[in-house]
Amino acid sequence: MSLRRNALLWVLVTGILGILGQWDPALTRWWCLPGALLLAGLAYEAAASGRCHLRLRFTGPEHWLLGRPHLMRLAFTHSGHARVTIQAALAAPEGFAAEARIETLRLAREPGTAEIRARARRLGRYAWPVPGIRISGPLGLAWWPKHVAGECTVTVIPDVVNRSARVAGDRAGGEQRAHFGGGGAGSEILQLRDYRHGDPLRIIDWKASARRRNLVSRELSEERHLEIMIAIDAGRSSALAAGEVDRLGLYVNVAARLAQRASEFDDAVGILVFASQPLAMLPPARGAAAVVRIRRMLSACRAQQGPSNPTLAAARIRAMSRRRNLVVLLTDLEDTSQEQLIQAVRLLRPKHFPFIAGLENAQIMALPLDPGEEPLAPYRALAAIEYRHALSSRVRALRALGAAALTARPEHLDQAVFEAYREARLHRRA
């Protein structure tokens, strides 16, 4: 119970009469009258509030897209006919970004509605918390705590509808399928034929040439579809914030969008989630059913406490994949060991084409490089320079091994991954 202004005024009157009674014996017991009236009023309000039964109904989407704002509406009704004033402490589940606030509603015959806008930051299934309720007594003397019944469960799923991804997909949609000659890992031998002047050395079948004692070339047919393996780092650094979501949530969104787009081109997509060791894997597959399985697995992703080991992830991909894949590795270039990344690239090359995408810390990248007059400005500039140098040196080391590597800000990561996918479709043999 919390006293309201009306009750506090009665308390004040009672106190004043009690003080006056100390000075004038004729007023000694006058303080009992307002005190008794206050107690009687509180007893009446307690009984009235006990007879009032509140009900709550949630109205909102059952599935929430990770990182996107959604609106949840809470409709309150009561069992009586008189007007009732309530206060509700609105809040979102843990792992959601929302501004908690107190909403005052007046309920009559029509329900009172409150809205809260929230943004899901982590995947999973959540029970929406029932707000704390207190009801005003009919005399306006106090707020009385009240229990309200209501249930609502929401499921946070990867966000596959994104403007930047759609733009990149539209750009990819206008491309022409490239037909390459040569002996790539995604090629199939159609037949053997006599050597022709100008045939590259890599398509010559030396064993058949030795048997025939004449140069023989292989006639090859390139695979029409691309196979993509997306490796997602779920190590300790994936729990760090990355814009509106954490890094793991950002990786999951990018992977879900890429899988959706690749299915439109009938490309096969697989998923590997790893931390200190591989956690879950789906081999590359085509079609809508494969995309559904990928989304289901992505929705179950959780950040782990330990460090990540991309070397073991690369070894698992190499052992599992028989064809040439575009391996998209979404990881943290700051926290992951550079030696492990180098070993991962060496395991994947030359059979697969690895593309490693990491995140830049937007706050550090925004620091000015020129030291100012502020005492700490030179140290901030030095830290920013060191941070940029460390990231760029890691990217250069990975590119020197034949991998595509880059870092991007959280809002640009999906564009970078879609661009790599577009380039891989145009140049399968790169």
Three-state SS annotation for 56-104: EEEECCCEEECCCEEEEEEEEEECCCCCEEEEEEECCCCCEEECCEEEE
Residue finishing a domain among 19, 34, 51: 51
Using an 8 Å Cβ cutoff, are 328 and 229 in contact? yes
Q: Do β-strands 2-3 and 142-146 pair in parallel, antiparallel, or remain unpaired? A: antiparallel
Spatial distance between the Cα atoms of 149 and 130, rounded to a whole number of angstroms? 8
Same domain, 58 and 107: yes
- pLDDT (tens digit, 9 = 90+) per residue, 277-304? 999 999 999 888 899 999 989 988 888 9
What is the per-residue pLDDT for 380?
73
Q: Tokens in use for 137?
A: 């007594």
Residue 34 lies in a domain: yes
Report the domain count for the chain: 4
What is the per-residue pLDDT for 22?
85
Same domain, 354 and 291: yes
Q: Chain-centre distance of CA 189, in angstroms? A: 43
Phi, psi of 233 (to 5 degrees): -80, 115
Residue 182 lies in a domain: no
Q: How far is CA 348 from CA 180, 353, 393, in A?
A: 22, 7, 21
**Which amino acid, one-letter code, is at 248?**
L
What is the per-residue pLDDT for 337?
84
Residue 112 lies in a domain: yes
Using an 8 Å Cβ cutoff, are 256 and 232 in contact? no
What is the per-residue pLDDT for 369?
63
Domain ranges, residue 108: 54-157
Same domain, 260 and 204: no
Same domain, 212 and 257: no
**Which amino acid, one-letter code, is at 18?**
G
Q: How many CB atoms lie within 10 A of CB 364?
A: 15
Same domain, 74 and 173: no
Using an 8 Å Cβ cutoff, are 147 and 55 in contact? no
Same domain, 169 and 194: no
What is the per-residue pLDDT for 220?
60
Same domain, 341 and 320: yes
Same domain, 197 and 241: no
Same domain, 415 and 354: yes
What is the per-residue pLDDT for 368?
65
- pLDDT (tens digit, 9 = 90+) per residue, 71-100? 999 999 887 778 889 999 999 998 898 888
CATH number, domain containing residue 284: 3.40.50.410
What is the per-residue pLDDT for 127?
93
For residue 119, the 8-state DSSP code is: E
Using an 8 Å Cβ cutoff, are 277 and 309 in contact? yes
Which segments of 121-205 are extended strands (E)? 124-127, 132-136, 142-146, 153-157, 187-194
CATH number, domain containing residue 64: 2.60.40.10
Same domain, 283 and 401: yes
Same domain, 30 and 47: yes
Residue 66 lies in a domain: yes
Spatial distance between the Cα atoms of 65 and 161, rounded to a whole number of angstroms? 9
Same domain, 374 and 239: yes
Residues of the chain with pLDDT under 70: 161-190, 220-224, 365, 367-373, 427-430
